Amino acid sequence: MRALVLALAMLPLGASACDPDEMDRAMSEICTAATTAAAEVVQAATSLAQAEEAAAMAARLAHARHICINGDPSLAAAESVHLARFAARIEARLTSKDSTR
């Protein structure tokens, strides 16, 4: 999750509101950074996840990447954030089990 926030914060936001092409480029950069960061979090959580959770994360990541390229980049960026939160919950669940032992 932290990587996702950092990736989004580091992107140049020089897109002019008057230039639709520049806005599209900026949104595509944000979308790509978000899905890349989400992929890192998913990779870390996959080994900790149950089989159905790992499959769901893989499917959601593939969907986010698809809509980033072919659809709505802002929707893909939002889905990437939701996916990162889901992966973080999986990691937190394992951490809380380990701390109770």
Structure tokens at 79: 């889905």
Instruction: Give the global pTM.
Output: 0.74
Residues 61, 21: Cα–Cα separation, whole Å: 26
Position 11 scores a pLDDT of 60
Name the residue with higher pLDDT: 19 or 76: 76
Position 22 scores a pLDDT of 87
What are the backbone angles phi and psi of residue 57, rounded to the nearest 5°?
A: -65, -40
Q: What confidence tens digit (pLDDT) does each residue in 34-49 have?
A: 999 999 999 999 999 9
61 contact partners, CB below 8 Å, separation of at least 6:
35, 38, 39, 42, 83
Position 17 scores a pLDDT of 55
Name the nearest CA neighbour of 92 among 3, 100, 70. 100
Is residue 83 predicted with pLDDT exceeding 90? yes
Confidence of residue 63 (pLDDT cuts 50, 70, 90): very high
